[in-house]
Amino acid sequence: MNAKIKLELTENLEDYLYDIFEILKIAPIARIKDIAKKRNVKLSSAVIAAKSLAEKGLINYQKYEYITLTEKGLKIAKEIESKKRILYKFLTEILKVTPETAQRDAHKMEHDLSEETIKKIIEFTKNFKGSS
């Protein structure tokens, strides 16, 4: 079921979900204005994304209410975070890419690479770290 939900998420919605996750890591609640500010978009764009994520069962959202992640939303957000972290490590520690470039590229890679390729990079990175 998680794979089905993930397939239905566009890159943009995935980014919104992850940004909500990041906001909630440092604040007790997330609001539409917080999300819009973080994404540098208009409030109306954040509302549309929130409605879509709520319809998919990934966030709890009602107009004029605070936003929280559902269990499914939290699980997907943590998966995204884990992939980004490992891709970042691969780029910085193995390929020696600068941190700024690695952060930008890890984000792109997480969206654009196939699951198979990402899994192979994760496997390689784990094995590389284990042999050090």
Residue-level pLDDT at 115? 87
Between 56 and 63, the higher pLDDT residue: 56
Domain residue spans of the chain: 2-75, 79-130
Over residues 67-85, the pLDDT tens digits come to 999 999 999 999 999 999 9
In the chain, the percentage of residues whose pLDDT exceeds 90 is 73
Instruction: Return d(Cα 128, Cα 13) in angstroms, integer.
Output: 33
Q: Where are the strands (E) in the chain, listed by range?
A: 59-60, 68-69
The correct answer on CATH 1.10.10.10 for the domain covering 2-75 is: yes
Q: Is the dihedral of CA 33, 85, 88, 113 positive or negative?
A: negative
Whether residue 64 is predicted with pLDDT greater than 80 in this model: the reply is yes
The answer to whether residues 30 and 19 touch, using CB atoms and an 8 Å cutoff, is no
pTM, two decimals, is: 0.84
Q: Which CATH number fits domain 79-130: 1.10.10, 2.60.40, 1.10.60, 1.10.3470?
A: 1.10.60
3-class DSSP assignment, residue 127: helix
Q: What is the pLDDT of residue 129?
A: 57
- Rounded distance, CA 16 to CA 42, Å? 13
